[in-house]
Amino acid sequence: MSKAPTIRDVALRAGVSVATASNVVNGVRPVGEASRRKVLDAIEALDYRLDRAASALRGRSTRLIGMVVPDITNVFFASLVHGVEALAERDDYDLLIVSTSEDAANERRRVEALVARRIDGLIVVPANDDSMVALKGDADGSRLPPAVLIDRAGQAPGFDTVRADCFAGGYAVGRHLIGLGHRDILVLTHSGGLANIEQRIAGCRRALSEAGLDGRDRVIYGGQDLETLRGAIEVELRRDHRLTAIFALTNVCALASIKAARSLGLEIPADISIVGFDDFAWMWALRPYLTTVAQPVDDFAAAAWRLLMRRLKADGETDIERIELPCTLKVRESTGPARPWLTAVAEVR
C-alpha cells in the first residue's frame, strides 16, 4: 500500500515552504494567490487529505463548523442550512449539522457533543432566546468556540447575532390589512416567549394603534403541529364572526390557516384574507398565491458566515456585532378587501 501524501509532499510539489502549504490547508494566515493556486493544484494532483483528528490533537484548526437548528424539517431552517453549507464548501470547511427538536436541554447536549469534536466555530438558531446565553454562562462556557446566533437571538450578550427586522415586517402587514379595510385580525403563532415572534406581533399592533384600532387583534398560541394549529384557528373563526384576516407568523401557521379556511368552506381572500411570514416555493405555487413577509434567508447565511470567519481570523477580542436585516412584504392573491362573512361561518356551525 502506498504511503499517503503529507503536507511536506504538497509543499515540495508546489515549490513552496511547508509553512506556506500549511497556511493554505489550515487557513491560518493569508497566502498570495499565485502560491495558493500552486498548493491547491498540488493537493489535487497528490489527492492529499487533511487528517482533521490529528490536526485537532495538535491544537490546530479542524476546519469543522457546527450548525444547530431547532427543526431540520422546517423549510426555513433547512434553507438556512443549505446557504451556510454552500459557504462552508466554498471556504473548505466541513459542516456538522444537528437538530434540537425545539428543546433547550437537547440543544445543550448537542452543542456539548459538537464542542467535543473540536469544532472551530458554531452557527446556532437557538431553541429559545436565552438557551445559548445560559450555556455560555456556565462554568465550562469558556470551552465554547466562537459562535454566531441567527434569528432567535434576543439581546444575547456575548454573541454576534443576525436577525430580521421582524417589527417592521409585522408593521407592514398591519398597514396592508388596514388599508384593505380589515379591522379585526387573528394573529396565529406556535408559542410565546421568542423575541422574533413577539416583535412581529408588536409591529402589527403598532399599525393598529396608529389607526385607532387598539385591541382589535386576537393573538392565539396554537401549538407546534399543523393539525393542532388548524383546530385552534377553526375554533376562533367560529367563535368571533368579526375576524376578517389572519396574520400567520410562520410558514407552518400559514399552511394551517389555509387548511382551516378551506375546512370551513371559506374563500381566500373573498371571505378571509391570509398573510404569512417567510417566503417559500409553495407560497407562490398554489392558488391563491400567498401574501407574505419575506426574510432574506441567503443574507442570513452570508452574514452569519462572515461574522464567524471574522472572529476565527481575529488575533484577539473583537467587538460584538449585531446585524438586523430588512424584511419585504410581498403582496399576492391571498389578501383582499374586508367583507362580512357571518353567513358563511353560520352555515358550517
In a domain, 59, yes or no: no
Q: Kindly report each contact of residues 140-147 with a partner whose C-beta sits within 8 Å and lies 24 or more positions away, as own/partner.
A: 143/115, 144/111, 144/115, 145/115, 145/119, 145/120, 145/121, 146/120, 146/121, 146/122, 146/308, 146/311, 146/312, 147/121, 147/122, 147/123, 147/308
Domain count, the chain: 3
Query: Are both 301 and 288 inside the same structural domain?
Result: no
Q: Helix 226-239 vs helix 251-263: angle between axes, to the nearest 10 degrees?
A: 50
In a domain, 182, yes or no: yes
Supply the pLDDT for residue 285. 86
In a domain, 56, yes or no: no
Query: What is the chain's Cα-based Rg?
Result: 25
Supply the pLDDT for residue 146. 93
CATH number of the domain at 265, please: 3.40.50.2300
Supply the pLDDT for residue 316. 61
Query: Are both 201 and 257 inside the same structural domain?
Result: yes
Q: How many CA atoms lie within 13 A of 196 on its CB side?
A: 26
Q: How far apart are CA 167 and CA 173, in angstroms?
A: 10
Supply the pLDDT for residue 58. 45
Query: Are both 188 and 221 inside the same structural domain?
Result: yes
CATH number of the domain at 16, please: 1.10.260.40
In a domain, 308, yes or no: yes
Q: Is pTM, for the whole model, over 0.75?
A: yes
Query: Are both 202 and 307 inside the same structural domain?
Result: no
Supply the pLDDT for residue 139. 40
Supply the pLDDT for residue 346. 40
Q: Which of 298, 228, 292, 234 is nearest to 263 (CA)?
A: 234
Percentage of the chain modeled with pLDDT above 70: 89
In a domain, 58, yes or no: no
Domain that holds residue 254: 166-295+331-346
Mapping DSSP onto H, E and C, the string for the chain reads CCCCCCHHHHHHHHCCCHHHHHHHHHCCCCCCHHHHHHHHHHHHHHCCCCCHHHHHHCCCCCCEEEEEECCCCCHHHHHHHHHHHHHHHHCCCEEEEEECCCCHHHHHHHHHHHHHCCCCEEEECCCCCCHHHHHHHCCCHHHCCCEEEECCCCCCCCCEEEEECHHHHHHHHHHHHHHCCCCCEEEEECCCCCHHHHHHHHHHHHHHHHCCCCCCEEEEECCCCHHHHHHHHHHHHHHCCCCCEEEECCHHHHHHHHHHHHHCCCCCCCCCEEEEECCCHHHHCCCCCCEEEECCHHHHHHHHHHHHHHHHHCCCCCCCCEEEECCEEECCCCCCCCCCCHHHHHCCC
In a domain, 275, yes or no: yes
Supply the pLDDT for residue 99. 95
Residue range 112-134, pLDDT digits in tens: 999 988 899 999 999 887 788 77
Supply the pLDDT for residue 1. 44
In a domain, 11, yes or no: yes
Query: Are both 290 and 318 inside the same structural domain?
Result: no
10-residue mean pLDDT series, the chain (349 residues): 77 87 70 85 80 50 93 93 96 94 92 91 90 65 82 81 97 98 95 90 97 92 92 94 95 95 96 96 90 97 97 82 96 92 44
Supply the pLDDT for residue 39. 86
Query: Are both 82 and 125 inside the same structural domain?
Result: yes
Supply the pLDDT for residue 21. 82
Query: Are both 107 and 182 inside the same structural domain?
Result: no
Query: Are both 312 and 289 inside the same structural domain?
Result: no
Query: Are both 172 and 291 inside the same structural domain?
Result: yes
Residue range 317-339, pLDDT digits in tens: 788 999 999 999 999 999 999 98
In a domain, 258, yes or no: yes
Query: Are both 93 and 105 inside the same structural domain?
Result: yes
Query: Are both 12 and 123 inside the same structural domain?
Result: no
Query: Are both 177 and 145 inside the same structural domain?
Result: no
